[in-house]
Each structure stands twice: as structure tokens, then as C-alpha cells.
């Protein structure tokens, strides 16, 4: 047992007495080093083999006298077992470093950074938020190869307990991708998410609301009068969404440099597309006219639909809330325009491949995707003009008829 020499008061009041460093001994090799500028550090001097060594035990007063003595006594036990405390510390630090590198959070973030460039911004944000909110707090620091299926299930069931059944399935799916990446990189050997298949509460996926084809004329007429309760820019946005049936995010993020109005083309860059493939949208003359109106409204912003901050586009919810104001809450969404266009155009007799290509339901293969960007372009131009004409006619009160005679 080491003979203690220092008191708490001595440690607190000690100075270097003008020396660059003064060393106060507490017995058993424990010293308090006091520097000229007032800094104080604990160090342990010891012999291992035939060498004298020194080991830092921390900063005083963060590490108190009693704490330093406990650390000294524990390290002395290592010496009695013929272990070098310095070497043991390095080995432990290395183990911790390796454990941190192989933690679920580290592997998940490594996987995320490999994938993020292939995703649109909002999807990338969703994936990261789901991990940070639901998985990292409980499993993030655990070595990925030490997590078991019950731990993962318990974590996912906390999401279910909130009634978020769809989210639970989505988070488990993301975890499965992380485990597969861990297997591929040698950090684990089993995909625990696959082991939990069937263990979650089933979730019936709800399709986004869309009006029936026979309800479309009333919706178009309501949108045409939207300025009675809202603004012109939102009215034009909803009409363009109906005419082009692109995804809502693709429309609201549109920038003027994507448009070739002279040739009636809108070329959406791959970075903004869900499938990460450049997409061409042929513009009907009605769409071009609305874009000309929007140029006056946009006030020089690079965005076609600038928000209050002209350097950012309108919110994702702008058109959804506009539809709510028109009385279509639970009946229609921005995505619903895609569904109703697909239904009517398919019933009309247009080539299904042409419709699917215009919906950007294209292949993920980058080479084929690059080739497909202009596939069926002539047929698509004809279809988009007929679609805009059809919308005008039924809005004006024409009887709903099939357009089979115009099919490509």
C-alpha cells in the first residue's frame, strides 16, 4: 500500500515556486506536476522490466487527489501482474478505436456516405433522420457484430409503440441495408433485419389520394379559380403539375436554366430525379404559356417557383395545402396528378411504354438510363399536347371521352 504524503489543501494551494515545473510526490510513484503558468497534471512513475516509465493520469482539479490515488492503485495491480500500464492503455485505446469504427453508427454513416450521391436530397435527409432519431440513441455505439436480433427488434418496436407502423418497416429496411454493407466490409456476418421478417405489425400501404377521372373536371375548375382564395403562382403551379404530371419535388425545384421554351422542352437534371437519370418533359403550348406568366412573377429568381426567400423554392406543402383549401383534403395530392394522368392515358389507348417513360418509371441502370432519356420523344410530345388539350376541354365542360384516335 502506498504511503500518501499530500493533502487536498496542498494540491489546491501548491504553486511552482518560480520553477518551470515542480513535482510533488504522493507516494507509490504518484506525482502532481505544477507548471509555471499554474497548470497541474497527475503522473505516475514506475519501473517495468529494467526501464523507468511515466504515465499521465489527467489534469488537476478535474482529476481529484482521491481519484488519482485510485487510478494509481489500479495501475499498481497491473504491475504486480507483470503488465505494463502504458502498453495496456495503448492496447485498450486501440480496442476502443476499433470498436468505435465497427459500431453500428460508424458502419451506418459509412454506408450512408457511399449511397447519398445516388439519392435526391429529401430522401437522403429522411434516411439520415430515421437513423439518428430511432436507431443511434440505443444501438449506435454498439459494435455491429455484437448486436443481436432481440435488441434490434426491441428498438424497432419502440417505433411501433408510437403507432408509426410504416416508419418501423422503413427503419428496419434501412437497418438491413446497413447490415448488408457491414457483411460486405467484414464488420459483421449476419443481416439481423432479415431475421426479423414477419416480426413487425403488418402495415397496409396507403396510396396517395387521387380523384377519379370523372372528378377531374371539377378539380380543374376549382384550381382555375384558386386566386379567389390564394395566389396566382400557386394556381399556375397546380395547373403545370396537372399538365406535366411530374413529381411535386421535381416541379417546385425547377430552375429556369432547365427550360428550352423555344423547343418546348424541360430537361430535369439527374441530380433532381428520383431515379438519378436526366428526364425530358415535352411542354404543351399551354404549359409554355404558363411558364411565360411565371417568368414575370419569379422576379429574376433562378427558381420558377421562388418562395418568400427568393433564393429558395416554395415549400413541399404549398400545393398540398392549396388543395386542402379547395376542399380536396384526403381526396387529392400533388402525386395524385400522376396517378390520374396514368389512368386516363392508359384507358385512352396511348402506348403504355410511352406513358411509363413520361412518368420517369425508368431503369436504374445508368447506361440504359442515359440512352432512354429521349426514348419515344416524338410520341411523348404528341401525347403531352393531347393531354393538355384534353384538360382544357374537360375544364371547359366538354364531355369526358377517350382520346383513342390520338394514341401514339
Provide the grid cell at 337.
396528378
Q: Tell whether the model's pLDDT for residue 110 goes beyond 70.
A: yes
Q: What does DSSP assign to residue 374?
A: T
> 340, 336, 345: which is closest to 380 by C-alpha?
345
Look over the chain and give the mean of its residue pLDDT values, rounded to a whole number: 88
pLDDT value for 365: 46
Q: Compute the half-sphere exposure of residue 384: CA atoms within 13 Å on the CB side of its CA.
A: 31
Q: Tell whether the model's pLDDT for residue 319 goes beyond 70.
A: yes
Q: Tell whether the model's pLDDT for residue 364 goes beyond 90.
A: no
Helix (H) or strand (E) holding 160: helix 149-160
Helix/strand/coil (H, E, C) string of 107-143?
Answer: HHHHHHHHHHHHCCHHHHHHHHHHHHHHCHHHHCCCE
pLDDT-based confidence at residue 401 (cuts at 50, 70, 90): low
> So where are the chain's domains?
8-85, 104-195, 213-406
pLDDT value for 166: 87
Quote the CA–CA distance of 221 and 216 in Å, as a whole number: 9
Provide the grid cell at 217.
373536371
Quote the CA–CA distance of 304 and 298 in Å, as a whole number: 6
Quote the CA–CA distance of 32 and 47 in Å, as a whole number: 18
User: In whole angstroms, what separates CA 104 from the centre of its chain?
Assistant: 17
- How confident is the model over 206-229, as pLDDT tens digits? 567 899 999 999 999 999 999 999
In the predicted model, what is the mean pLDDT of residues 129-134? 93
Q: Tell whether the model's pLDDT for residue 301 goes beyond 90.
A: yes
Q: Determine which of 108-117, 121-130, 264-273, 300-309 has the lowest per-residue pLDDT on average.
A: 121-130
Alpha carbon distance, N-terminus to C-terminus of the chain? 94
CATH tag, 104-195:
1.10.150.130
- How confident is the model over 244-287, as pLDDT tens digits? 999 999 999 999 999 999 999 999 998 888 777 899 999 999 99
| Residues known to be catalytic | 247, 274, 335, 338, 361, 371
- How confident is the model over 156-188, as pLDDT tens digits? 999 988 888 888 999 999 999 999 999 998 888
To 10 degrees, what angle do helices 149-160 and 121-134 make?
Answer: 110
Q: Which of 45-49, 80-84, 231-235, 403-407 has the highest mean pLDDT?
A: 231-235
Quote the CA–CA distance of 127 and 133 in Å, as a whole number: 10
The proportion of the chain whose per-residue pLDDT surpasses 90, expressed as a percent, equals 62
Q: Determine which of 113-127, 234-248, 279-293 has the lowest per-residue pLDDT on average.
A: 113-127
CB-based contacts of 254: which residues, under 8 Å, 6+ apart? 266, 268, 303, 304, 305, 313
Q: Tell whether the model's pLDDT for residue 205 goes beyond 70.
A: no
CATH topology of domain 8-85: Double Stranded RNA Binding Domain (3.30.160)
Cα dihedral sign, 74-75-79-85: positive
**Is 213-406 assigned to CATH 1.10.443.10?**
yes
Give whole-number Cα distances, 140 to 109, 121, 199, 236, in Å. 10, 23, 22, 46
Cα dihedral sign, 154-155-161-163: negative
Amino acid at each position: 500500500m502506498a504511503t500518501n504524503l499530500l493533502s487536498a489543501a496542498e494540491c489546491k494551494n501548491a504553486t511552482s515556486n518560480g520553477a518551470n515545473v515542480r513535482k510533488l510526490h504522493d507516494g507509490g510513484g504518484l506525482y502532481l506536476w505544477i507548471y509555471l503558468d499554474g497548470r497541474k497534471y497527475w503522473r505516475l512513475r514506475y519501473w517495468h522490466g529494467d526501464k523507468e516509465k511515466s504515465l499521465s493520469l489527467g489534469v488537476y482539479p478535474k482529476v481529484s487527489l482521491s481519484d488519482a490515488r485510485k487510478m494509481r492503485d489500479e495501475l499498481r495491480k497491473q504491475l504486480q501482474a507483470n503488465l505494463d500500464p502504458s502498453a495496456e492503455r495503448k492496447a485498450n485505446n486501440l480496442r476502443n478505436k476499433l470498436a468505435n469504427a465497427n459500431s453500428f453508427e460508424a458502419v451506418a454513416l459509412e454506408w450512408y456516405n457511399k449511397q447519398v450521391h445516388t439519392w435526391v436530397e429529401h430522401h437522403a435527409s429522411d434516411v439520415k433522420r430515421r437513423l439518428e432519431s430511432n436507431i443511434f440513441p440505443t444501438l449506435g455505439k454498439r459494435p455491429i457484430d455484437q448486436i443481436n436480433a432481440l435488441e434490434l427488434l426491441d428498438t424497432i418496436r419502440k417505433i411501433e409503440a408510437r403507432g408509426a407502423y410504416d416508419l418501423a418497416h422503413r427503419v428496419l429496411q434501412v437497418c438491413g441495408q446497413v447490415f448488408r454493407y457491414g457483411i460486405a466490409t467484414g464488420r459483421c456476418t449476419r443481416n439481423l433485419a432479415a431475421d426479423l421478417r414477419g416480426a413487425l405489425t403488418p402495415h397496409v400501404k396507403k396510396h396517395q389520394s387521387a380523384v377519379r377521372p370523372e372528378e377531374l373536371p371539377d378539380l380543374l375548375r376549382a384550381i382555375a379559380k384558386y386566386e379567389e382564395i390564394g395566389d396566382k403562382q400557386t394556381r399556375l403551379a397546380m395547373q403545370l403539375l396537372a399538365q406535366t404530371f411530374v413529381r411535386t419535388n421535381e416541379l417546385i425545384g425547377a430552375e429556369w436554366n432547365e427550360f428550352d421554351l423555344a423547343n418546348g422542352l424541360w430537361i430535369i437534371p439527374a441530380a433532381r430525379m428520383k431515379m438519378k437519370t436526366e428526364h425530358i418533359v415535352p411542354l404543351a403550348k399551354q404549359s409554355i404559356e404558363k411558364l411565360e406568366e411565371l417568368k414575370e412573377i419569379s422576379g429574376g429568381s433562378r427558381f420558377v417557383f421562388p418562395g418568400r426567400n427568393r433564393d429558395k423554392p416554395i415549400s413541399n406543402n404549398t400545393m398540398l395545402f392549396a388543395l386542402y383549401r379547395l376542399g380536396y383534403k384526403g381526396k387529392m395530392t400533388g402525386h395524385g396528378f400522376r396517378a390520374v394522368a396514368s389512368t386516363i392515358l392508359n384507358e385512352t389507348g396511348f402506348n403504355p411504354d410511352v406513358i411509363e417513360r413520361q412518368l420517369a418509371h425508368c431503369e436504374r441502370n445508368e447506361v440504359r438510363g442515359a440512352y432512354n432519356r429521349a426514348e419515344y420523344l416524338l410520341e411523348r410530345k404528341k401525347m403531352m399536347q393531347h393531354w393538355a388539350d384534353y384538360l382544357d376541354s374537360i375544364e371547359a365542360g366538354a364531355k369526358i371521352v377517350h382520346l383513342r384516335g390520338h394514341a401514339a
